[in-house]
Amino acid sequence: MTLQRRLLVLLLAAVPLIWAVAVVTSLLRARHEIEELFDTQQVRLAQQVLALVHARGGELDSSWPEMPRPASGAAAGDVGSAELQDLSVAVWSRDGRLRLADREGRALPRHDGPSGFDDLVLDGAPWRVYYLRADDGAWTVGVGQASEERDEVLQGLLLGQLLPWALMLPVLVVATIVAVRHALKPVRALAADLGKRGPDDLHGVATAGLPAELAPLVRAMNRLFDKIRGTLEHERRLTADAAHELRTPLAALRSQWEAMRVAGDAAVRDAAFRHVGEGIQRLERVVTQLLALSGVEARPAAVFAAPIDWRRVVQDALSDCLPFVEACGAEVDVSWPDDGTAPFPLAGDDALLALCLRNVVDNALRYGARRVRIRVSADALVVEDDGPGVSEAVLARLGDRFYRPHGQSATGSGLGLSIVRRVADLHGLAVGFERLEPPLHGLRVTLRRAA
Which of 148, 125, 129 is closest to 46 using CA atoms? 129
Write the CB contacts of 287 (distance below 8 Å, at least 6 apart in sequence).
246
Residue-wise pLDDT tens digits, 383-439: 998 888 777 776 776 756 655 555 454 554 556 777 788 888 888 899 988 888 776
Note the pTM of the prediction, 2 decimals.
0.45
DSSP state of 2: -
Cα 429 to Cα 297, 422, 447, distances in angstroms? 15, 10, 6
Q: Each residue of 88-100: b (16+ CB within 10 Å) or e?
A: bbbbbbeeeebbb
Please report the DSSP string for 369-407 in residue order.
-SEEEEEE-SSEEEEEE-S----HHHHHHTTSTT---TT
Concatenated DSSP letters of 152-189: HHHHHHHHHHHHHHHHHHHHHHHHHHHHHHHHTHHHHH
Please state the rounded mean pLDDT for residues 18-31: 82
Mean pLDDT of 178-207: 79
Rounded mean pLDDT, 156-173: 76
Lay out the sheet containing 331-335: strands in order across: 331-335, 371-376, 380-385, 443-449, 429-435
Nearby residues of 20 by Cβ (< 8 Å), 6 or more positions away: none
| CA–CA distance, 205 with 30 (Å, rounded to integer) | 56
Give the residue-averaged pLDDT of 99-103. Answer: 81
Report the CATH architecture of 3-58+85-169. 2-Layer Sandwich (3.30)
Distance CA 296, CA 317 (A): 16
The string of pLDDT tens digits covering residues 269-314 is 787 777 777 777 767 766 766 676 566 666 665 567 789 999 999 9
CA 310 to chain centre: 43
The domain spans of the chain are 3-58+85-169, 200-298, 310-449
Q: Are 352 and 296 in contact (CB under 8 A)?
A: yes
Give the rounded percent of residues in the chain with a pLDDT score beyond 90: 13
pLDDT-derived band at 206, boundaries 50, 70, 90: confident
For residues 247 and 283, what is the distance between their CA atoms, to the nearest angstrom? 10
Closest CA to 332 of 318, 352, 343: 318
Q: Which of 39-48, 216-225, 344-353, 399-408 has the lowest mean pLDDT?
A: 399-408
pLDDT at 154: 81
**Residue 354 burial (CB count, 10 A):** 21
Say if residues 430 and 450 touch (Cβ distance below 8 Å).
yes
Measured CA to CA, the distance from residue 382 to residue 36 in angstroms comes to 98
Whether residue 252 has pLDDT greater than 80:
no
Q: What pLDDT sits at residue 44?
A: 93
User: Is 90 exceeded by the pLDDT of residue 117?
Assistant: yes
Phi-psi region of 174 (alpha: psi -120 to 50; beta: other; left: phi over 0): alpha
CA distance 250 to 248: 5
Residue 279 and residue 258 in contact, taking contact as beta carbons nearer than 8 Å: no
Topology given in CATH for the domain delimited by 310-449: Heat Shock Protein 90 (3.30.565)
Report pLDDT for 130: 94
Kindly report whether the peptide bond that precedes residue 439 is cis, defined as omega within 30 degrees of 0.
yes
Nearest Cα residue to 417 out of 434, 440, 405, 400: 400
Q: What is the pLDDT of residue 285?
A: 64
* Residue 382, pLDDT score: 93
Give the model's pLDDT for residue 191. 78
Contacts of residue 133, defined as CB under 8 A and 6 or more positions apart, other chains included, come to 111, 114, 115, 139, 140, 141
Write the pLDDT tens digit of every residue in 66-79.
Answer: 444 444 444 445 55
Domains 3-58+85-169 and 310-449 share a fold: no
Burial 106-141 (b: 16+ CB within 10 A, else e): eebeebeeeeeeeeeeeeeeebbbbbbbeeeeebbb
Weakest-pLDDT range from 179-188, 205-214, 365-374, 411-420: 411-420
CA dihedral sign of residues 44, 50, 53, 54: negative
